[in-house]
Amino acid sequence: MELNSIQPADGATHYKRRVGRGIGTGLGKTSGRGHKGQKSRTGGFHKVGFEGGQMPLQRRLPKRGFKSLATPFKAEIRLSQLESLPIAEIDILVLKQAGLVSQLAKVVRVILSGKITKTVNLKGLIVTKGAKAAIEAVGGSVA
């Protein structure tokens, strides 16, 4: 095989449609644009969603939803994940190094999910009421 002998597969290409070249082509005279009107004229088109002056669909429907830009900077961690860490002093840096939270995380919340049996000291983390009670029940502390 040589570069000069490469061809597209059969049926992969087709001829460009030539409009306005006579009645016999089926695309003569008005060139498939019909008669009169905005879309029959050169440069005569309108923006996407335009409905001829009627209120467009995207404006008729109510606005819904919200996507917080703070989401990438927040993280949650379970008590069962804290249990698996070999360190007793836990802060955001330790969680990032262990790969439990994203490197972008600025705020980490500890939630009551799973069980904890070892003593841990948390620093600089947000802790829910239930998680705080569970940590303090096994002799840990939250600062």
Q: What is the pLDDT of residue 44?
A: 84
37 and 82 in a single domain? The answer is no
Which of 61, 80, 95 marks a domain boundary? 61
Environment class of 8 (CB within 10 Å of its CB; exposed 0-12, middle 13-18, buried 19+): exposed
What is residue 52's predicted lDDT score, i.e. its pLDDT? 87
Taking the C-alpha atoms of residue 117 and residue 83, their distance in angstroms, rounded to an integer, is 7
Instruction: Say whether both 81 and 133 belong to one domain.
Output: yes
89 and 51 both lie in a single domain: no
User: Is residue 99, in this structure, part of any structural domain at all?
Assistant: yes
Could you give the 3-state DSSP secondary structure of residue 75?
A: strand
Report yes or no: 86 and 80 within 8 Å, Cβ to Cβ.
no
Is 8 a member of any domain?
Answer: no
Which amino acid does the sequence have at 44?
A: G
Domain with residue 133: its CATH number is: 3.100.10.10
Q: Which domain holds residue 34?
A: 17-61
The answer as to whether 120 is a domain residue is yes
Is there a single domain that holds both residue 92 and residue 125?
yes
Average pLDDT of adjacent 10-residue blocks, the chain of 143 residues: 94 93 93 92 88 93 94 95 93 95 96 94 96 95 92
* 37 and 85 fall within a common domain: no
